[in-house]
Amino acid sequence: MRETERLGLVVLNGSEGTSSLKSHILRIPRFVSLVVDLPDTIEEYFSNLPTNRRRQVRQAIDRGYRVEYNRETIFCREFVQAYNLPTVQNSHGEEGIITKETELIKLLRESDTEIMKVLKGDKCILAGICINTGDAYQLYKVGWLNGDTRWVKEGAHTFHIWQAIIRARELGLSILDLGGTPPFLDDGVFNYKMRWNARLNTKRRTLGEHCLLMNPGHPAVQSFFQRHSMIVYDSANRIYFCSGHRPSNLKLCKGILDGISGWWRLASPQEAKDRGLDKEPSNGMPSGWFAPEPLDDL
């Protein structure tokens, strides 16, 4: 707690000694689950996408990419080393979860799993491990060749997701699981996936979490929440948004808002003083100076 006075924000490493601090700990998921509910026809789904996403899909299709599916375990080592590993390192750094070749081989042999390859000519520029699980087609792992983001900019990732939507409907599935997503609303991955008309899957909580202690009045904390709005868990394990902004200042689709229980906004030092806000935990929030914001008007 003394460190929060000095630094503003402290990340706890492990659970040792945290029981006495439980009411002060802010829990942030490492990744959240976003899924897409698919209607009966691809045409209906396409027509309901945002205008710019429909344009991106058309552009990706026009680039001449093609897709192949197989269950060849011999590709697993190449997938990890040339596709998934460099992509995860470039996109998520230390937060990224690296898959193992043995895990993929086991999935391909023992479950309803397949490899999706996106090709430009004869070159595989993007590959993904996809799992048929229940009603969902899950984009479990993905990577582009050598982690080169050029393929993302040229629409290969958009083509990959679009083909996954088509594949899910071909298999009679009604949900596309977009995989783990950083919980920050300003993150490019979160916004990209959200604009497929995704919703927050509130039932999946298996992707780990960070435990933080913070001093809401510290300039670094004030600055952090002005720059980042994020998904957090409250003391009752409900999902909230935590931000330095009001909900109306951020563009969120209905499927995301429907998945949260509320919104907390960090007050400025002057507002906290004017309103007499305490720094101690309150209203289920493990830190003071956070004011609940209404979502009804959105």
Of 200, 232, 253, which one is at a domain's C-terminal end? 200
**CA 244/CA 160 separation, integer angstroms:** 35
Residue 179: which pLDDT band, with cuts at 50, 70 and 90?
Answer: confident
pLDDT at 280 exceeding the cut of 60: yes
From 169, 200, 231, give the residue that closes a domain.
Answer: 200
pLDDT value of position 20 = 73
What's residue 206's pLDDT?
66
Q: Do residues 153 and 134 lie in contact, with contact meaning Cβ atoms separated by under 8 Å?
A: no
Rounded (5°) CA angle 66-132-34: 85
> Given this model, what pLDDT does residue 93 score?
60
* Cα 208 from Cα 206, distance rounded (Å): 6
Looking at the structure of the chain, the number of domains it has is 2
- Chain-centre distance of CA 90, in angstroms? 16
Query: Does 298 fall in a domain?
Result: no
Q: What is the pLDDT of residue 64?
A: 94
Q: What is the pLDDT of residues 211-220, one digit of tens each?
A: 888 889 999 9
pTM of the predicted structure, to 2 decimals: 0.88
Residues 189 and 220 in one domain: no
Q: Is the pLDDT score of 96 beyond 90?
A: no
